[in-house]
Amino acid sequence: MRIVFAGTPEFAVASLGAAARQHEVVAVYTQPDRPAGRGRGLMPSPVKLDAIARGIPVFQPETLKTAEAQQQLRALQPDLMVVVAYGLILPKAVLAIPTHGCWNVHASLLPRWRGAAPIQRAIQAGDAETGVCLMQMEAGLDTGPVLLRQHTPINDTDTGGQLHDRLAQLGAQVLADGLGLLRAGLKPIPQVQPAEGVTYAHKLDKAEARLDWDQDAEVLARTVRAFNPWPIAEAVLAGERVRIHGAVAIADNHGKAPGTVIGAAREGIDIACGRGALRLRVVQREGGKAITAADYLNARRDLRIEG
% of the chain residues with pLDDT over 70: 99
**CA–CA dist 249, 168 (Å, integer):** 28
* Coil, helix or strand at residue 16: helix
For residue 59, the surrounding DSSP H or E stretch is: strand 58-59
The architecture that CATH gives domain 206-303 is Roll (3.10)
Return the CATH class of domain 2-201.
alpha beta
User: Residues comprising the binding site for (6S)-5,6,7,8-tetrahydrofolate?
Assistant: 108-111
Nearest one of 92, 97, 93 to 26, comparing CA atoms: 97
Dist CA 215 CA 197 (whole Å): 25
Which ranges of the chain does DSSP label H, i.e. alpha helix?
Answer: 13-22, 46-54, 67-75, 92-95, 118-124, 160-183, 217-226, 293-299
Q: How far apart are CA 6 and CA 47, in angstroms?
A: 9
For residue 306, name the pLDDT band (cuts at 50, 70, 90). Answer: low
Region of poorest pLDDT, from 14-18, 87-91, 192-196: 87-91
- This prediction has a pTM of 0.94
The count of other CB atoms within 10 Å of the CB of residue 46 is 17
- What pLDDT shows up at residue 307? 44
Greater model confidence, 306 or 68 = 68
The annotated binding site is made up of 108-111
Angle value at C-alpha 282, between 280 and 288, nearest 5 degrees: 125
Average pLDDT over residues 160-187: 96
Angle between the N-to-C axes of helices 160-183 and 13-22, in degrees from 0 to 180, rounded to the nearest 10 = 20
| Higher pLDDT pick, 111 / 35 | 111
Q: Where are the domains of the chain?
A: 2-201, 206-303
